[in-house]
A and B are shown apart, each in its own frame.
Chain A
């Protein structure tokens, strides 16, 4: 088997449309929730004194096709983008014109957050889920659990093909997650060494963040030295070994359970909100392949042919499902 064949067999294996649809629902819902919770007016108010520090990120230059970058938006501009994003996100969630709405949602999210992060400081939670949303726009994620699917059924009388769809965005998300966790692991070892797991480090972090964000659980945890030692080692092991979840599928439930626990406890003790990552875990669920194991499919690259992709026209002109 050549390298190309191996590559195709891994990345372009067939999966189920339902799996893609569930992933779409989860990651779009997580982002919508985050957008609703976002106190944009307060964030813009905090950015106003930093207007001189505004330096558009390269991604903004690329996405807005403006070589000099997007000019600093007036507040109403950012608020309008926020509202437009909510509307497009809702369309992506219900699966209306799924590919186009997913692409617009990813574009808008990258522009809005890219803009907010062009003032020098930035957060980490949104980056990965935005990449996943962008990737999802290139596969038929609206073939099930969507308005598109209902409309197709109504128009043609048959359901869109639900099997043998490309699921490479799910695989990409899995590997990106592994890289991200490895980044956190390597940073801890690189900057703090094994001393990072001495317990005092975690006590320090949960107190400083917990007290600043009014998290009583964090303040309580900061007084539990032995527990902090165990949790520190657990964190290092989880982040460093996460890649095992990809390579040895039997370990997956353990890693996902630990991951949910990890992010939930980080949120409760120190306000580190990475619940977007928990939504991304849905990329791991399900069989990952159709019943016809490892059947390679061709990706469907161009947005706009969403629901009818995979359906073929019969000699009589009626659209029928491929399988």
Chain B
């Protein structure tokens, strides 16, 4: 096939080239829409599977990335469901008691990482992290408690239950589990 593109002279090669280009672009369009449609169809199964479409589930997400489905936040929730909220309560030597939540990063103090370390039993790493925070604050912590509270979904929003202390890190390096 002659793919030469002669701008002057005969227009035949131009038309041929355009036809070829159009076919290539059409293939690209069909591929994109086809794969995306296929991926979208997958949402019709889990958890309400259509048996005849089960073969489409062979590829787990995100095998076809960037062609993906968008099932985020698609589960329904009802009143009465509970959510666990875990945070740190630090008691400073000045007597001040201060809660620290995972989403807050004060001066590089990664609360989430410290909670993770405490719950995984990595007390040394947690104490080192606390020591760095103490250095930044120029203060000493008497006691650190990993606290958990269950929040229950009500019509008026989430209602907190009674906080419970999961673990205490006591100064200087004593760990007490409850």
With A122-B65, A124-B70, A298-B21 given, is the CB distance from A200 to B43 under 8 Å? no
CA distance A11 to B25 in the complex (A): 9
Q: Are A222 and B157 in contact (CB under 8 A)?
A: yes
Task: Verify if A126 is at the interface (C-beta below 8 Å from B).
Answer: yes
Task: Verify if B125 is at the interface (C-beta below 8 Å from A).
Answer: no
Across the interface, A204 reaches (CB within 8 A) one of B21, B26, B81, B102, namely B81
Residues of A close to B62: CB separation below 8 A: 57, 117, 122
Closest residue of chain A to B80, judged by CB? A200
Interface band, chain B: 35 or more
Q: Are A183 and B66 in contact (CB under 8 A)?
A: no
Task: Verify if A268 is at the interface (C-beta below 8 Å from B).
Answer: no
Q: Are B25 and A212 in contact (CB under 8 A)?
A: no
CA distance A126 to B70 in the complex (A): 12
Task: Verify if B20 is at the interface (C-beta below 8 Å from A).
Answer: yes
Task: Verify if A195 is at the interface (C-beta below 8 Å from B).
Answer: yes
Shortest distance from the beta carbon of B24 to any chain A beta carbon, whole Å? 6
With A127-B68, A204-B153 given, is the CB distance from A186 to B76 under 8 Å? no
Task: Verify if A176 is at the interface (C-beta below 8 Å from B).
Answer: yes
CA distance A76 to B45 in the complex (A): 41
Task: Verify if B40 is at the interface (C-beta below 8 Å from A).
Answer: yes
Task: Verify if A280 is at the interface (C-beta below 8 Å from B).
Answer: no
Shortest distance from the beta carbon of A20 to any chain B beta carbon, whole Å? 14
Closest residue of chain B to A300, judged by CB? B21
Task: Verify if A8 is at the interface (C-beta below 8 Å from B).
Answer: yes
Closest residue of chain B to A297, judged by CB? B18
Interface of A is mostly: helix
CA distance A200 to B47 in the complex (A): 21
CA distance A42 to B78 in the complex (A): 35
Interface of B is mostly: loop
Task: Verify if B85 is at the interface (C-beta below 8 Å from A).
Answer: yes
C-beta contact mask, A51-86 vs B, less than 8 Å → 1, else 0?
000000111000000000000000000000000000
Task: Verify if A208 is at the interface (C-beta below 8 Å from B).
Answer: yes
With A190-B43, A222-B157 given, is the CB distance from A211 to B69 under 8 Å? no
Q: Are A299 and B75 in contact (CB under 8 A)?
A: no
Shortest distance from the beta carbon of B149 to any chain A beta carbon, whole Å? 12
Task: Verify if A275 is at the interface (C-beta below 8 Å from B).
Answer: no
C-beta contact mask, B148-163 vs A, less than 8 Å → 1, else 0?
0001010111100000
Closest residue of chain B to A122, judged by CB? B62
Interface size of A by Cβ–Cβ distance < 8 Å? 65
With A57-B62, A187-B74, A213-B103 given, is the CB distance from A127 to B67 under 8 Å? yes
- Centre residue among B17, B47, B77, B153 by max chain A CB count within 10 A: B77
Which listed segment binds B: A24-32, A130-138, A151-159, A255-263? A130-138
Residues of B close to A166: CB separation below 8 A: 25
Chain A contacts with B in 226-265, Cβ cutoff 8 A: none
Task: Verify if B28 is at the interface (C-beta below 8 Å from A).
Answer: yes
C-beta contact mask, B135-172 vs A, less than 8 Å → 1, else 0?
00000000000000001010111100000000000000
Closest residue of chain A to B71, judged by CB? A187
CA distance A208 to B19 in the complex (A): 53
Task: Verify if A94 is at the interface (C-beta below 8 Å from B).
Answer: no
CA distance A315 to B36 in the complex (A): 47
With A168-B29, A172-B33 given, is the CB distance from A195 to B78 under 8 Å? yes
CA distance A224 to B26 in the complex (A): 48
C-beta contact mask, B105-122 vs A, less than 8 Å → 1, else 0?
000000000000000000
Across the interface, A184 reaches (CB within 8 A) one of B15, B39, B72, B79, namely B72
With A124-B72, A179-B36, A212-B103 given, is the CB distance from A313 to B7 under 8 Å? yes
Q: Are A135 and B32 in contact (CB under 8 A)?
A: yes
CA distance A224 to B158 in the complex (A): 11
Q: Are A184 and B25 in contact (CB under 8 A)?
A: no
Residues of B close to A107: CB separation below 8 A: none
User: 25 interchain pairs (CB within 8 A)?
Assistant: A57-B65, A58-B63, A59-B65, A124-B70, A127-B66, A127-B68, A131-B66, A135-B28, A135-B32, A176-B36, A180-B70, A187-B70, A187-B71, A188-B74, A201-B73, A204-B77, A204-B153, A205-B73, A207-B83, A207-B151, A222-B157, A225-B157, A298-B21, A302-B21, A312-B8
CB-CB nearest 6 A-B residue pairs: A298-B18, A223-B157, A192-B76, A187-B71, A127-B66, A301-B21
